[in-house]
Structure 1
Amino acid sequence: MTTITESLQIASKHYRANDLTKAEQLYRQILEKEPNHPEALYGLGILAQQVGQFQNAEQLLNELLQIQPNSVKAWFSLGNLYQAQGQLPAAVEAYQQAIALKTDSAPLYNNLGYTLQLQSKWEEAVACYQKALELQPNCIEAEVNLGNALHAQGKLSSQQQAQYGALNNELGRNRHQVKDLKTAVAYYRVAIALQPDLLDAHYNLGMALQQQGDFEEAVTSYQKILELYPHNGEIYFKLGKIYQDQNKLPEAISAYQQGLKLTNPHYLKAFVADAETDKHQEVPITPELPQEEVIVRNYKFPKIPAVVASEKKRPFWSVVIPAYKRTDYLLECLASVLAQWTGEEEMEILVMDNASTPPLFDLVNSIGRGIVSYYRNSQNIGLAGNHNTGITLSRGQWIHILHDDDYVLPGFYSQLKESLEDCSDSVGAAFTGFDNIDEKGVFLSQGDIFDWYGEDRGIIQDWLSQIVVTNPLRPSAIVVRRQTYERLGGYCSELSDLNGWEVCKRIATFYDCWYEPKILACYRVDTSLYANKMSNELFLTGNHAVFLRRAIEITESYLPDDLCTEMTANARSYNFEYLLENRVIFPLISGNLTGALRILQEALKIDCSPEAVAKLFAWLTKDEAAPLRNEIATKLLAISEENIPDKIPAELKSPQTAIAL
């Protein structure tokens, strides 16, 4: 049992890591025990404000002030809340209350000044900024706001305008980093007004507007950069992303083409050469491939044949991009790879279209013609089958399977090649750091691999014992030596979304893994539970739990004899709790009791030890488990009803009585 102090520390850690759901859960658990706990009220209030639940945030902060009326941070936060909602007089009053309690706070005077400035009370605002700078001479926010107030009154020289323009841009970046996009945009706009040719401010403004979803204004901002610097290829990539998000594919294609031609001379040469051939291409059909198996200890996996001998030099990289129907992100994914393509002797790129209707051929060819090899399966062969087909058709020494909604960052291939081309044959795979992004490409969090592996590059120590239990890696950040697939086989179609984890466990059993501790890839997360049909099928019906159990059982068949028992026990224990604490809630929320019961059944198949059963019974006492308790009791009564004597009163046969008993 953790103490409230420990829970607060953990909640704060989750909040700083932007894991707001876990932070909220902890704050609420604290308030269940101590409804008036000031730190929990404050933490929950700040969290509610961050996610836009302003009314809830106001209520929580006011509850805190009833308990601690002299809480400076509560008054300060309340002022920020009112200011964000445009309730400026209320914000002024809250800041003044805070200042009365703490007269030496520069941030309080600065925020009060900004609120007064928003009401065009220039002299009062200037006095507040000057007071803030008197208290804290290096307070950049007060310095910038003072300059902006003086500019609004026409009191700045051209030299001072340039100075304050740069300061506004810097402050905008600071707010941008903490996802305060509205304030960041305001600072960027002022920076541009003060210094119209400040390229960095235009770029940052475009980025912030794009993340806000203000696509038209973002396009205007990027086009302004191209007026100033017409050969800026990176801006064309930004425009391509916006047009892609707007489903304006012709415009996106044009922008990505231009960006690639400006930034990659190898691409330009190949693209121009192919355009000059003016050849007609038909949609290529994936050739028939042998379906053989390879046995790894006690289990059979799809065989990956060796590369057929040829005079043609094998490339170092094969990038395999599986795709099916979706066009939302494919151009961005392709462009991220093509930007790093340095010739066919170095890299081949294969797009594996899993029988999309209509085919994705024209879209792929629009920016990849002459470079990308496109294959279309005559029928859908499943995700694992499509992966294996792409690997079989590849010729590279190292294989990177990059899903069509993910992308790589500059340096992914060159950085890994530098580490891998002379590494030991014992290394069968490698991975880099990665960022988690949402559907719009907005940063969510860093992958937690740094918590697992630290920041030292090289061969991972004791990789197997960790990866057997859980998988912190993501496909976009992983590359595998082709010879590894040839020895151990490809992806197992039995495991659906967990086949990548199983492959990692199989590789870890027989090979070392290289770690490159840089953020060089992006993994897209579906942030909506119900947005994806596959998520519904897997999690709401309990199928994910079935695949999880099978992944553990399959791995048990090939783990080293001396480690198998302990490692499998650790995996079973960990994943039992994972299902109980993180997955059964999904079908419960949707009212799918059958799916929830199936998850519990699979959890017990994974781990039916006395400790696990005790944890299950403890979990069933929670409020959110009430529907399941009733369902379990009803089923138990139905099974034994014919054995219950008629003389027992009916009320003793109820589910509630069964639960109590």
Structure 2
Amino acid sequence: MNNTNISESRVKSLIQIAVQTHQSGDKDEAESLDQTEVAEILELAVQQQRDNNLLEAEQLYSQVLEKQPDNPEALYGLGMLAQQMGQPEIAEQWLSAASQVQPDSVKTWFSLGNLHLVQEQFSQAEKAYRQALVLLPNSLPIYNNLGYTLQQQGLFEEAINYYQKALDLKPDFIEAETNLGNALHAQGKLSSNQKIYYAQLNNQLGVTRKKAGDLKNAVTCHKQAIALQTNLLEAHYNLALTLQEQGELEEAIASYQNLLELNPNYGEVYLNLGKIYQQQNNLTEAISAYQQGLKLINPHYAKVFAAIQENKEEISATPLLPQGEVQIGEYYFPLIPPVSETEDKRPFWSVVIPAYQRPDYLLESLVSVLAQWSGIEEMEILVIDDASTPPLYQLVNAIGRGVVRYYRNPQNLRQQGTWNAGVTNSRGLWIHLLHDDDYVLPGFYARLKQSLESCPDSVGAAFTGYENINETGEITFRQQLYGTDKGIVSDLLLYVGVANPLNPPAVVIRRTTYERLGGYHPELTSTLDWELYKRITTFYDWWYEPEILVHYRVHSQSMRTELSLSGDRVASIRRSIEISESYLPADLCAEITAQSRKHYFISCLADTEVPLKAGHLTGAFRTLEEILKIDRSAESLAELFTWLRTDIATPVRDEIAFRLISLPLDN
């Protein structure tokens, strides 16, 4: 078996024991077990399963079966786990065993039916659903699923009968009504108006299934909607979008192209095609699609882009950073000078995109900003290329000419130098630093501007909700720190002082804040944003905009991964704690710093696994050295010794033993 701790032979053995125990009626051991303990273990197993900790849940369910071989809840839980792990045959064995032990369990028969239905084993699914219906008559989901199973076997009249029974109980049951329409369509019994109605219903159900993560059935619904109404634009778009999310890129491209035949001016379609071509590393096609999409959705962009057709090689070197420092607490930070006075009106926004060696993600980042660009009077966009090889100019110019200002550092300044260069060369009232592998969602700048235009001068920065995504765009984390109520937040220091809950692409900072407090500390290779946020929170208020307006990408080529391998990330965390200790408010400093040291000791200890898994033992040892500089309390040392006993720490233990053995003996 894959992705599980229990071997296939062990599964069969446990199932056989469960059935034999139940049939023999030998419950002495079961009765001797503390039923409260069993209930607690089962509750914990269910919680682990809900949290997607599948291996932990599996171990807990198996622990129950060791004591109570015929426990139906444990058998059922293991069946559902196997299904989650993509092991339908094993899932069927567990669920079948559960049905023998507890034949009056509706959920077991219903789950068995669902398992067979997913595998298109329609006759077996029908038997399971009928058994569930005997136990629980007038059940909406059983009526619907049984009807669908019969429909797939060509038994339309009987299927329609069950759909009608479901709708008699709940007239707005969309799944049953949609399936009813599809069954009638298969029999040629729908009028033209009915086809349009059921097409929209299928499309609506597809959207619902996609939100629930059921992409396979979402695709089926959208395809059925198109079969009922071939020119239903929303169904074509949703089908292509779902296929794209599934990773079926060629089929998604074909669906988008079908949609463009119906509506050649659908700008969002071109942008989505650009993302697919970008993912396929076909940058030429990606640029072409992005250009067309931007011209269709943004008239400001279209006007400027059409006026500037020449592609001149104009690579401007990043202006030198000014000399000077600002002292905050006991430390000095790079000076950010005020904007020089000119007759030109300053834009509200300066969007600064530091870029280095990632042309694939850079396009998507740029496009997300250009789609919201409303003229140079409103927003300036700067790309600061940190000496990429080859330069990124051609890529930036291909979609940003006439709009984006491109600078290239004469030498690599790394993150801190590039960020300071971008801020220094900006003229906007508010500055947004956007990583070249992240992107903003529609409405980011408009919603923030609406709030920030009227906020008091005490507000030095603002942040929005955000989501983390992986390489393929799948959402892995969601953050709305203060819920859904926007406004000035008063207690952010209690969060930011301890650990960083913010993400740079979700943060905008007033330029005068930089001018007062200075730029990013040059010693910090990581967490330089966190240290600045602590500075800002000490002296300014923050504005919170709750909507999810940014996607932050987490991937194997990210700066964080590189810094974690070397141990630099932990060193920067330790240094950031030391720096902020000199300026945090006196009444909160000791408590916040102590909590921060404790928090990062634990989180950075887990971070040690990154270099260990990569076979980078030097990086792992440096990480441990820095962790011990963060916190050496008795409690933290106990955590370290516990970690050293784990399997992942074996290379560290072996190296420590080798170094001890290699020490010279005193004469």
Give the whole-Å Cα distance in 1 for the aligned partners of 2:79 and 2:602.
Answer: 30
Match of 1:80 in 2: 114
> SS at the partner of 2:308?
helix
**Aligned-residue offset at 1:29:** 6.5
> SS at the partner of 1:434?
strand
| 187-196 vs 247-256, which moves further | 247-256
Match of 2:601 in 1: 576
Match of 2:631 in 1: 607
**Aligned-residue offset at 1:461:** 1.5
| 51-60 vs 278-287, which moves further | 51-60
> SS at the partner of 2:338?
coil
Q: Is the 8 A contact 1:463 1:508 kept in 2?
A: yes
**Aligned-residue offset at 1:417:** 1.0
TM-score by length of 1: 0.86
Match of 2:3 in 1: none
Match of 2:218 in 1: 184
Give the whole-Å Cα distance in 2 for the aligned partners of 1:174 and 1:294.
Answer: 54
Give the whole-Å Cα distance in 1 for the aligned partners of 2:74 and 2:600.
Answer: 30
For this pair of structures, how many residues does the alignment match? 628
Give a deviation string over 1:520-573, Cα, whole Å, max 9, x none.
Answer: 1111122xxxx3375554334544332222222222122122221111011112
Equivalent residue letter for 2:305: F
Matches within 5 A, 1:309-328: 309-328=341-360
1:502 aligns to 2:531 (yes or no): yes
Give a deviation string over 1:54-87, Cα, whole Å, max 9, x none.
Answer: 4565566556557655443233333323332334
Q: Is the 8 A contact 2:597 2:630 kept in 1?
A: yes
Give the whole-Å Cα distance in 2 for the aligned partners of 1:241 and 1:563.
Answer: 46
1:239 aligns to 2:283 (yes or no): no
Give the whole-Å Cα distance in 2 for the aligned partners of 1:424 and 1:6.
Answer: 53
Match of 1:95 in 2: 129
Give the whole-Å Cα distance in 2 for the aligned partners of 1:402 and 1:357.
Answer: 21
**Aligned-residue offset at 1:46:** 4.3
**Aligned-residue offset at 1:95:** 2.9
1:554 aligns to 2:584 (yes or no): no
Matches within 5 A, 1:247-258: 247-258=281-292
Change (3 A) 1:97 1:624: farther
Q: Is the 8 A contact 2:41 2:64 kept in 1?
A: no
Change (3 A) 1:255 1:426: same
Equivalent residue letter for 1:426: S
Q: Is the 8 A contact 1:344 1:371 kept in 2?
A: yes
Q: Residue 551 of structure 2 is aligned with which of 522, 539, 542?
A: 522
Q: Is the 8 A contact 2:278 2:286 kept in 1?
A: yes
Matches within 5 A, 1:444-483: 444-447=476-479, 450=480, 452-483=481-512
1:393 aligns to 2:422 (yes or no): no
Give the whole-Å Cα distance in 2 for the aligned partners of 1:6 and 1:87.
Answer: 36
**Aligned-residue offset at 1:349:** 0.3
Runs of 5+ in structure 1 lacking a partner?
645-661
Change (3 A) 1:248 1:590: closer
1:267 aligns to 2:284 (yes or no): no
Give the whole-Å Cα distance in 1 for the aligned partners of 2:122 and 2:359.
Answer: 45
Give the whole-Å Cα distance in 2 for the aligned partners of 1:291 and 1:96.
Answer: 80
Give the whole-Å Cα distance in 1 for the aligned partners of 2:662 and 2:167.
Answer: 75
**Aligned-residue offset at 1:498:** 1.6
Match of 1:442 in 2: 474
Q: Residue 162 of structure 2 is aligned with which of 128, 145, 149?
A: 128
Q: Is the 8 A contact 1:475 1:500 kept in 2?
A: yes
Give the whole-Å Cα distance in 1 for the aligned partners of 2:614 and 2:77.
Answer: 28
1:170 aligns to 2:200 (yes or no): no
> SS at the partner of 1:231?
coil
Give a deviation string over 1:587-632, Cα, whole Å, max 9, x none.
Answer: 4555656655544443333222222233344455556656656665
Change (3 A) 1:223 1:574: same
Change (3 A) 1:85 1:466: same
> SS at the partner of 1:160?
helix
**Aligned-residue offset at 1:403:** 1.0
Give the whole-Å Cα distance in 1 for the aligned partners of 2:237 and 2:648.
Answer: 47
Give the whole-Å Cα distance in 2 for the aligned partners of 1:297 and 1:181.
Answer: 54
**Aligned-residue offset at 1:298:** 0.9
| 491-500 vs 296-305, which moves further | 491-500
> SS at the partner of 2:523?
helix
> SS at the partner of 1:453?
coil
Change (3 A) 1:144 1:499: same
**Aligned-residue offset at 1:192:** 0.9
Match of 1:433 in 2: 465
| 53-62 vs 153-162, which moves further | 53-62
Give the whole-Å Cα distance in 1 for the aligned partners of 2:626 and 2:108.
Answer: 46
Match of 1:213 in 2: 247
Give a deviation string over 1:217-251, Cα, whole Å, max 9, x none.
Answer: 22232233333333222222222222222223232
Equivalent residue letter for 2:117: Q
Give the whole-Å Cα distance in 2 for the aligned partners of 1:67 and 1:96.
Answer: 19
Change (3 A) 1:539 1:289: closer
Give the whole-Å Cα distance in 2 for the aligned partners of 1:317 and 1:44.
Answer: 54
Give the whole-Å Cα distance in 2 for the aligned partners of 1:563 and 1:196.
Answer: 64
Q: Residue 564 of structure 1 is aligned with which of 577, 583, 589?
A: 589
Q: Residue 392 of structure 2 is aligned with which of 334, 357, 360?
A: 360
Q: Residue 485 of structure 1 is aligned with which of 514, 517, 525?
A: 514
Give the whole-Å Cα distance in 1 for the aligned partners of 2:40 and 2:485.
Answer: 30
Give the whole-Å Cα distance in 1 for the aligned partners of 2:96 and 2:559.
Answer: 43
Matches within 5 A, 1:116-155: 116-155=150-189
Q: Is the 8 A contact 2:45 2:60 kept in 1?
A: no
Match of 1:656 in 2: none
Change (3 A) 1:568 1:637: same
Give a deviation string over 1:447-470, Cα, whole Å, max 9, x none.
Answer: 2xx3x3122111112111210111
> SS at the partner of 2:542?
strand
Matches within 5 A, 1:329-408: 329-408=361-440
Equivalent residue letter for 1:555: S
Equivalent residue letter for 1:108: I
Q: Is the 8 A contact 2:48 2:54 kept in 1?
A: no
Give the whole-Å Cα distance in 1 for the aligned partners of 2:477 and 2:543.
Answer: 23
Q: Is the 8 A contact 1:321 1:351 kept in 2?
A: yes
Q: Is the 8 A contact 2:61 2:77 kept in 1?
A: no
Change (3 A) 1:112 1:630: farther
Give a deviation string over 1:160-202, Cα, whole Å, max 9, x none.
Answer: 2111111111111111101211110000000111111212111
Q: Is the 8 A contact 1:173 1:204 kept in 2?
A: yes
Runs of 5+ in structure 2 lacking a partner?
1-36
Match of 1:24 in 2: 54
Give the whole-Å Cα distance in 1 for the aligned partners of 2:55 and 2:350.
Answer: 44
Q: Is the 8 A contact 2:382 2:422 kept in 1?
A: yes
The alignment-based identity, stated in percent, is: 58
Match of 2:441 in 1: 409
Give the whole-Å Cα distance in 2 for the aligned partners of 1:607 and 1:34.
Answer: 40
Q: CA RMSD for the aligned pairs?
A: 3.1
Q: Is the 8 A contact 1:322 1:353 kept in 2?
A: yes
Match of 1:647 in 2: none
Give the whole-Å Cα distance in 2 for the aligned partners of 1:615 and 1:338.
Answer: 48
Give the whole-Å Cα distance in 1 for the aligned partners of 2:527 and 2:118.
Answer: 43
Match of 1:649 in 2: none
**Aligned-residue offset at 1:384:** 1.4
